Amino acid sequence: MHRDELLAGLDAKLEPARFTDYCPNGLQVEGRTEVRHVVSAVTASAATIEAAAERGADVLLVHHGYFWKGEPQVITGMKQRRIRRLLESGMNLVAYHLPLDAHPEVGNNASLARDLGLVADGTLRDDGVGLVGAPDEPLSAPGLASRIATALGREPLLVTAGEHPVRRVAWCSGGAQSLLPRAAELGADAYISGEISEQTTHEARELGVHYLAAGHHATERGGPRALGEWCARTFDLTHEFLDLDNPA
């Protein structure tokens, strides 16, 4: 199929125009026009690009691409090497950031809900980024941590905020620890995100909300995988998901 048909379908699915984002969403580096094979991944690192090229990818579909607000505009060093390899391979680099966090079907947080047995009934932000809801049964904080470890393949860092059970949960993938006060406002007993800052521990204890840092990469694998699978089903393309090791 033609690349532009795929891009139009992705934009219709994810509606990037609804978001004020930190990077461009959609096509970031142009490659060949005819596309058959999509490789999806969390981040367009050098290792990801090389692995995708080895697999004959026409499209590298990621959550973390390039050209972030505040980064140097010149293309030198690491960025130059990454982009040069993309151009040499003929791959298209396509990235969706906040739209892939927020999507209710193929988004990172929707995927986390399925993996963790959570049922969403609201959002943390007005643009749909972050969800709030309930587990399929009440859990202790260590019980929720155990469920996360089983689903994501890594132990979360757990900050307990008392002995209360978890009946309401908020979650937002990636580096969204700053939304902890909002989770508390919405009545969450526990809040799950990817990262933790020094102040997060104090906030969790003072707000009475258990905090679980489950890994930035680990909490954002689901969206790229689900979106790549959707592309394969919708456009009769082939798809592979690359999960290169990242302990962060």
Q: What is the mean pLDDT of residues 111-140?
A: 97
pLDDT at 147: 98
Q: What is the mean pLDDT of residues 205-212?
A: 98
pLDDT at 133: 98
Q: What is the mean pLDDT of residues 83-107?
A: 98
Q: What is the mean pLDDT of residues 136-151?
A: 97
Q: Please give the structure tokens belonging to residue 91.
A: 């791959």
Task: List binding-site positions for a divalent metal cation.
Answer: 63-64, 101, 216, 220
Banded model confidence at residue 8, pLDDT cuts 50, 70, 90: very high
Q: What is the mean pLDDT of residues 207-236?
A: 98
| Residue range 3-96+221-240, CATH number | 3.40.1390.30
pLDDT at 232: 98
Integer Cα distance of 39 and 83 in angstroms: 17
Integer Cα distance of 102 and 228 in angstroms: 16
Q: Backbone phi, then psi, for 81, in 5-degree steps? A: -65, -40
Q: What is the mean pLDDT of residues 199-216?
A: 98
> β-pairing, 131-135 with 169-171?
antiparallel
Q: Tell me the pLDDT tens digit for each residue of 169-184.
A: 999 999 999 999 999 9
Q: Residue 152 in contact with residue 215, Cβ under 8 Å?
A: yes
pLDDT at 101: 98
Integer Cα distance of 5 and 131 in angstroms: 31
pLDDT at 60: 98
DSSP single-letter state for residue 177: G
Per-domain residue ranges of the chain: 3-96+221-240, 108-219
pLDDT at 82: 98
Hey, what CATH class is 108-219 in?
A: alpha beta
- Averaged confidence pLDDT in the chain: 98
Same fold, 3-96+221-240 and 108-219: yes
Virtual CA dihedral for 23, 123, 148, 238, nearest 10 degrees?
Answer: -50
pLDDT at 22: 95
Virtual CA dihedral for 219, 223, 229, 235, nearest 10 degrees?
Answer: -170
Banded model confidence at residue 107, pLDDT cuts 50, 70, 90: very high
Q: Residue 188 in contact with residue 170, Cβ under 8 Å?
A: yes
Q: Residue 63 in contact with residue 25, Cβ under 8 Å?
A: no
> β-pairing, 190-193 with 169-171?
parallel
Q: Percent of the chain at pLDDT above 70?
A: 100
Q: What is the mean pLDDT of residues 205-216?
A: 98
pLDDT at 214: 98
Task: List binding-site positions.
Answer: 63-64, 101, 216, 220
Integer Cα distance of 139 and 146 in angstroms: 10
